[in-house]
Amino acid sequence: MSIFEAILLTVITASTPLVIAALGELVAERSGVLNLGVEGMMIMGAVAAFAGAQMSGSPYVGIVCGIAAGALFSLLFAFLTLTLVANQVATGLALTLLGLGASGMLGEAYVSVPGIRLGEIVIPGLSDLPVIGHVLFRQDLIFYLSIALVVGVSWFLFRSRAGLKLRAIGDSHGSAHALGIQVIRTRYLAVMFGGACAGLAGAQLSLVYTPQWAENMSAGRGWITLALVVFASWRPWRVLAGGYLFGAVTILQLHAQAFGLGIPSQFLSMLPYAATIVVLIIISHNRRTTLINTPASLGKAFVPER
């Protein structure tokens, strides 16, 4: 395997969780719900996946545990913001704070326990192709899932009837309600899908990216995910592109440290966060295009008239 292939592989591993979590958040935001709790749901997914894999001995059970943990945890958010119409920004923050604390507590027994790495799945025929065979067709299940999710979410949102309804709710919950669409129920499902995706992204962190458990191991990725959704202007394929761009920046930073460019490592570590800010500036600069793309009822509470 050449150096080039090795770098591509690490970029993919770093990008996959960003893509998955951002897709989930994208669906939630398309339905009009701004869930700032991605970081919390992701870290809960990571600890649950690690614990599940340890107890069962199978990383696949771990994946299921991660998804379930993310989805269940997002229910807390959904109940508060959708049923009790609490402020979405504050509730999302609460979810993150609670997730970081609870995962630290639940994961305490697993610190420095050797993890179980999710194995690669070789696709016969394709995996023998030069370069891309190694890079794309000898990957783990979660990578394949991430690509399937991009296709699936894109199809769902823009080609299916349910997706049309979901977007309608995100753009005008009042009108959608008047048309008889179940606003609250759809939003519950969208938030839980977002939670499941964040949980899966967390599972990738503790089963693939670094197969172990460490406190706060999500390291702000959940927040970068939120920026990614804005960057992608709420479109699934752009999430894929943006996720890989961010993943590349993260890896670039690691390689630059290894080459010893004379730049202090701390400044290189700032790169993903700085890049997020720069990207946000570029995207938000044009007020008109952001307004067109943003779901119009994003972050607004809906209380049906009775």
**What are the residues binding other proteins (CB under 8 A)?**
36, 76, 80, 83-87, 89-91, 93-95, 97-102, 104-105, 108, 220, 223-224, 226-227, 230, 264, 266-267, 269-270, 273-274, 276-277, 280-281, 284-285, 287, 290, 303, 306
Q: What angle do CA 168, 172, 173 make, to 5 degrees?
A: 90
Instruction: State in angstroms the smallest separation of the CB of 269 from other proteins.
Output: 5
Distance of closest approach, residue 225 Cβ to other proteins, in angstroms: 10
Instruction: Supply the DSSP string of 249-275, one letter for each residue.
Output: HHHHHHHHHHHT-SS-HHHHHHHHHHH
Nearer to other proteins, 72 or 102 (CB): 102
> Minimum distance between the CB of residue 3 and other proteins, rounded to whole angstroms?
28
Q: Quick one: DSSP state of residue 127?
A: G
CB of 116 to other proteins, least distance (A): 24
**Beta strand ranges found along 74-209 (DSSP E):** 120-122, 138-140
Nearer to other proteins, 18 or 95 (CB): 95
CA distances from 279 to 18, 26, 217, 269, 275 (A): 15, 17, 24, 17, 6
Please answer whether residues 190 and 33 qualify as being in contact, where contact means their C-beta atoms are separated by less than 8 angstroms.
yes
CA–CA dist 269, 225 (Å, integer) = 17
In a 13 Å sphere around the CA of 105, the CA atoms on its Cβ side amount to 6
d(CA 194, CA 20): 9
Between 108 and 128, whose beta carbon lies closer to other proteins? 108
Instruction: Name which of 125 and 262 has its Cβ closer to other proteins.
Output: 262
User: For other proteins, which is the closer residue by CB, 161 or 306?
Assistant: 306
As measured in angstroms, the least distance from the Cβ of 192 to other proteins is: 18
- Closest to other proteins by CB, 159 vs 285, is 285
Least distance from C-beta 61 to other proteins, angstroms? Answer: 23
Task: CB nearer to other proteins: give 30 or 134.
Answer: 30
Select 85 or 131, whichever has its Cβ closest to other proteins. 85
Report the C-alpha dihedral over residues 9, 100, 98, 170, rounded to 10 degrees: -20
In whole angstroms, how close is the CB of 197 to other proteins at the nearest point?
Answer: 19
Grouping H, G, I as helix, E, B as strand and the rest as coil, residue 16 is helix
Q: Give dist(CA 89, CA 87) in Å, integer.
A: 6
**Residue length of the chain:** 306
Q: How far is the CB of 160 from other proteins (least distance, A)?
A: 28
Residue 220's CB is within 10 A of a number of other CB atoms, namely: 12
**Residue 231 C-beta: closest distance to other proteins, Å:** 10
**Non-local CB neighbours of 27 within 8 Å, separated by 6+ positions:** 153, 156, 157, 166, 190, 193, 194, 197
Residue 107 · residue 215 · CB < 8 Å: yes
Tokens 């109940």 belong to 79
Q: Which is nearer to other proteins, 12 or 41 (CB)?
A: 41
